[in-house]
Amino acid sequence: MNITIIGSGYVGLVTGACLAELGNTVFCLDVDARKVAMLNGGEVPIYEPGLKDIIERNRAAGRLLFSTDVKAGVAHGDIQFIAVGTPPDEDGSADLSHVLAAARNIGRHMDRFKVIVNKSTVPVGTVQRVRQAVAEELAQRDLPRLEFAVVSNPEFLKEGSAVEDFMHPDRIVIGVEDNATGTRAQSLMRAVYAPFTRNHERTFYMDVISAELTKYAANAMLATRISFMNELANLADKVGADIELVRQGIGSDPRIGYSFLYAGTGYGGSCFPKDVQALSRVAARFGHTLNVLDAVDAVNDSQKRVLAEKIVDCFGDDLSGRTFALWGLAFKPNTDDMREAPSRVLIRELLTRGARIRAHDPVAMPEAQHVLARDFADAPRLLEHISYVGRSMDALTDADALVIVTEWKAFRSPDFAAIKAGLRQPLIFDGRNLYDPAQMREAGIDYRAIGRSSRMPSPPPLPSCEPIAGAHNAAWS
């Protein structure tokens, strides 16, 4: 099948490469000539395990094409996937300008029936807006009867395992309109995803509005679980509980499960932060308030500062003369994505307080340097106090403490004796709860994680037990 992917960002590249891997001829269209030249030259602008190999293999086979030629892209694909960015506007709502621009380009150039697929994460009602944009362009060309269908097909890819997620999906959601063109579109979409449903049916067909809401609802639910556990972890620190034991205790309930119950420094990336805010804005447009999601967002913003607060509690507000080894920059492992990464908040807090940072990340250091240059455009001299090292243990040199922000596998089983010897003092601030507190005590390391307090705090004063005036209790006599 001939398929066009509009947008060669994260979702577009993974979708295009994986569909080509299944034997389709895929035309990846992007307006960024530099990115297209990079891809045609064998480079991949993002880090995602397995993606580069798939792109190289299918480019060599002639099944995967990259171009800036809009007319050729529209002509190529019977199915046109729109996979462009939907960044947040100033008020947090999704910016649909790129989606609608792609729709208008399709309307300007199409000459036969097309299925237009919203793959981008978009708010409720976007299918109707895409349909209107295409129809307006066709009307200007005196082709108002040229048929097309608009489909909602949200992605459920996890960065770091996106190729695996696409090739082995747990569900495929397709929203189609209830009319003749919708039926025709459903038939074509069933053919596209047939390789994924040979063993059992994974496809959920529904109306377009439900499909659009499903994507936001899924991310909002996962974000809620994360913020809920972070709230409990902060309480665990105060009462002396171990949040990891709590996680095991509640996760064993099959109604709850273990996924996304890990406490840490908050969520980041391109999806959860903007999707939670965008869903709240959708609700506001309809006069409804999503109180839970507003709280989820607020908790996450606060949680990104927890590590800095622990460091300040230990060393004081003025961190001048202090150096911190920082393990992990990307918002999660197996990616170089720095969008909304908790490390950015921590780095600003440490540098503005006078600290120096020696940072290591297995893949994200080049992207981090680029992003932090923008973050510190107001104070570029502060960036002179952060250095990047190629090996994790080298970051410990002259450091007062080790701070862990990203849970890369390479950080899970380090040489604790070497860590203790390398630091000025044996102190670890762990934002991802990678280690066992008991093991750290045995190793002689002061270990400060999220919700894993090993101390029993002094209990708060009990309420007064003075008897009510006039009452008689033999026990007090």
Task: Tell me the whole-structure pTM to 2 decimals.
Answer: 0.88
Encode pLDDT of 337-367 as tens digits: 999 999 999 999 999 999 999 999 999 999 9
Answer yes or no: do 156 and 259 share one domain: no
Answer yes or no: do 22 and 126 share one domain: yes
Cα distance between residue 191 and residue 166, in whole Å: 16
* Domain housing 414: 222-448
pLDDT (0 to 100) of residue 466: 44
Cα distance between residue 343 and residue 306, in whole Å: 11
Cα distance between residue 429 and residue 402, in whole Å: 6
Residue 350 lies in a domain: yes
Contacts of 378 (CB under 8 A, 6+ apart): none
Encode pLDDT of 296-343 as tens digits: 999 999 999 999 999 999 999 999 999 999 999 999 999 999 999 999
Encode pLDDT of 383-409 as tens digits: 999 999 999 999 999 999 999 999 999
Residue reference for tokens 């860590």: 419
Cα distance between residue 432 and residue 455, in whole Å: 19
Q: Using 50, 70 and 90 to split pLDDT, how confident is the model at 94?
A: confident
pLDDT (0 to 100) of residue 7: 96
CATH code of 75's domain:
3.40.50.720
Contacts of 398 (CB under 8 A, 6+ apart): 323, 358, 424
Question: Does the annotation count 465 as an active-site position?
Answer: no
According to DSSP, the β-strands at 356-360 and 427-430 are: unpaired
Q: Is the pLDDT of residue 92 over 80?
A: no
Instruction: Say how many domains are in the chain.
Output: 2
Residue 470 lies in a domain: no
Answer yes or no: do 181 and 303 share one domain: no
What is the chain's mean pLDDT, rounded? 93
Among candidate residues 18, 28, 271, 465, the one labeled active-site is 271
Answer yes or no: do 198 and 227 share one domain: no
Answer yes or no: do 356 and 437 share one domain: yes
pLDDT (0 to 100) of residue 468: 38
Answer yes or no: do 138 and 228 share one domain: no
Answer yes or no: do 379 and 310 share one domain: yes
Residue 413 lies in a domain: yes
Q: Using 50, 70 and 90 to split pLDDT, how confident is the model at 469?
A: very low
Average pLDDT over residues 128-148: 96
pLDDT (0 to 100) of residue 344: 98
* Burial letters 415-451, b for 16+ CB under 10 A, else e: ebeebbebbeebbbbbbbbbbebeebeebebebbbbb
